[in-house]
Each structure stands twice: as structure tokens, then as C-alpha cells.
Amino acid sequence: MSLFDLADKAALITGASRGLGRAMALGFARAGADVVLSSRKAEACETVADEIRALGRRAAVCACNVSHWDEVSGLAERAWAAFGRLDILVNSAGIWRAAPIEQMSLADFDETMEVNLRAPFVASKAAAAHMGEGGRIISIGSNLAERVTDTSLSAYSTSKAALVGLTKALARDLGSRGITANVVHPGSTDTDMNPAEGPHAEHQRQKMATPRFGKADEIAGMVAWLAGPEGRFVTGAALTIDGGANA
């Protein structure tokens, strides 16, 4: 049995136009899955979709602003319409708003909760209605949910910590149906949002047991394992992959 065998599965990934979302979409396709890519940046998703088709798998693109709950709630139905099934949901879309508590606006706090917490709730609720035995819901959290190592993270860390509670509750609600729910907590990962050679990179490396940024494919590998046959007994878990920053 392959650790990453997703043959003929159908996956829906939010925030799939770049970074971790793109890496997961391509990783799923290499493992045999068809993928629905969702993002506000539909044109960028089309580029990823072409890469997936070049791997011999099917791809569909759904433009969606995850801060709009009505758009998020329709994603699962659109994924079902594309492939006639939905086996895997990955809640990858997220935003970063950082400021000291005295300067954090309520608008920024609310937007962080809308994108990082409410959208995964709405997407998971909709996806669960289309999933059968073996369904997987995987959300992308952050190691900053477990250990807040810097200032200015009141909104971001709160949203990702709350995502753990949501995931555990989903595991309880859906376990009797054979659907698992887990959250993956990446640490500093080399993406457009947080480049390994960016102005804050060295500060982050100094916190790690292995002082290098992660690669998007490394995060995608853990997610693919959770989505595959060997991950079927893992549910309600928060798995950290951060180079030992939280060790």
C-alpha cells in the first residue's frame, strides 16, 4: 500500500493558486487525485490546473473569495458537479494581519476570523454533506497556534488556535461516518508570503532546531499522507511540521 495513493479521489483545495495550496494540488495529482482549485485568483489557478492536466489528472477551477461565506458554501457543490464525488477538502486559504493589541483594528481582527476560521467551518460543513466513508478534512493551521513566540499575533494566533478546536469538534461529529478531520501546523515555509531570504527570515531561523525554512513540498507531503490510506486512523489531531521551532 502506497503512503500517498490517492488514485481516483477528488480533492477540493482552497487558496490553491500559489504557495502551499499549489504544492498540495500538484502533490495530490501526482498521487492520482483529481483536483478542484479554489482561489480569488482564478487565472493563477488555471496555470496550476494546466500543470495538473499535464500529469494526466483532471482539474477544475472555482473562483472564490473565502471572506464571503455564500461563495464558500457553494464550493463543495461545484466540486461534486465537476467530478461526481468529493473525498478530500483542504482548507488552505488564509491571511496574516499583525499589529500590537493596542493597534489591532477590529476590522482586521474580524477579517482574520472570517478567512482563517469561519471559511474552514463553512467549507467543512458543506463538504461533509458530500463525503462518504473515508472522507478527509484537513485544515492548514500554524505553529503559532501552539506557541506565540513574537508580539503582534493576537488575531492570527487566535484564529489558528480556534481552528484546532473546530477540527477536534469535526472529528467527533463526523467520526461515525468514517470521515476524519485534522489540522497541519506549518512553521516558517519558503513561499511568496514568507520567503526564505526575506527581511524577517533570519529571526525565524534562529528559533528552529534545524535552522532552515521548510519547503512547500514537505508540508504537502504530510497533508498527502493524512489524505491517503495510511492516515485513516488519525483524526482530531494537530500535527506540527516546523523544523523544531516549537520544540
Task: Give the active site residues.
Answer: 156
Neighbour count for residue 43 (Cβ, 10 Å): 10
Neighbour count for residue 105 (Cβ, 10 Å): 11
> Sign of the C-alpha dihedral, residues 99, 102, 104, 105?
negative
Give which of 206, 212, 215, 219 is closest to 149, Cα–Cα. 206
> Sign of the C-alpha dihedral, residues 110, 113, 115, 119?
negative
Q: What is the rounded distance in angstroms from the CA atom of residue 136 to the CA atom of residue 36?
A: 15
Residue pair 38/59 in contact by the 8 Å Cβ criterion: no
Which strand ranges, in their side-by-side order, compose the sheet holding 180-186?
59-63, 34-39, 10-14, 88-91, 136-140, 180-186, 238-241
Q: Report CA 6 to chain centroid distance, whole Å.
A: 17
